[in-house]
Amino acid sequence: KLAQQSVREIERTKRSFQEVLDSATVASYLAGLKLPWGADADHLKKESEIEEAARAGFTHFTYDVTNELGNGLKRQIADRIHSLYRFTLELKGRDSFTCEVSLDEADEATTPEDLINLLDELRRRKIGVDEIAPRFPGNFEKAIDYYWKIDDYRKVHDTGIFEHYLS
């Protein structure tokens, strides 16, 4: 993805999704970029945000379900993702976008069990999630190293429980 902007960044910079995509388009043209690229509309919570990003031409949609995370990964989270995904599908069509689910803004770490339950439910509903951003234990800062307090948290070395989701 060449262009990426969150709703929060759009508000803070007083830009629009269209302006972000236009800037990226001009920059890629001036740089002579020949590779295909996409644009990520990040941390979308409302249909109006999805609509604005879709209208601008964004191709990747990150659904932020932080508001639904209060009680763990329960039915209301899957319902919200389902609603946002179906809305995007209506706007973009089946093969013209990818999506991500953002769980990383939560206060508590995402457990493997909660993640598996959510992925199972989304698969059952035929929701094609391309990426998922869980909340990791420890302290993770974007563009910074991942910090882990070994004595407070256990390390997960075995990712085998997730293998059938990675195909």
| 66, 105 contact by CB (below 8 A) | yes
What is the total residue count of the chain? 167
Plot region of 93 (φ>0 → left; ψ -120 to 50 → alpha; else → beta): left
Give how far Cα 151 sits from Cα of 10, 135, 137, 138, 154, Å: 39, 19, 12, 11, 8
Residues with Cβ < 8 Å from 3, sequence gap 6 or more?
A: 20, 21, 23, 24, 37, 38, 39, 40, 58
pLDDT computed for residue 162 by the predictor: 56
For the entire predicted model, the pTM comes to: 0.81
The Cα 15–Cα 6 span in angstroms is 11
Per-residue pLDDT of the chain (167 residues; tens, 9 = 90+): 678 999 999 999 999 999 999 999 999 999 999 999 999 999 999 999 999 999 999 999 999 998 888 765 678 899 999 999 999 999 999 889 999 999 988 888 888 888 898 999 999 999 989 999 988 776 655 555 444 444 444 444 445 555 565 55
pLDDT computed for residue 146 by the predictor: 47
Give how far Cα 21 sits from Cα of 38, 43, 93, 137, Å: 9, 16, 20, 34
pLDDT computed for residue 156 by the predictor: 43
pLDDT computed for residue 109 by the predictor: 83
pLDDT computed for residue 151 by the predictor: 45
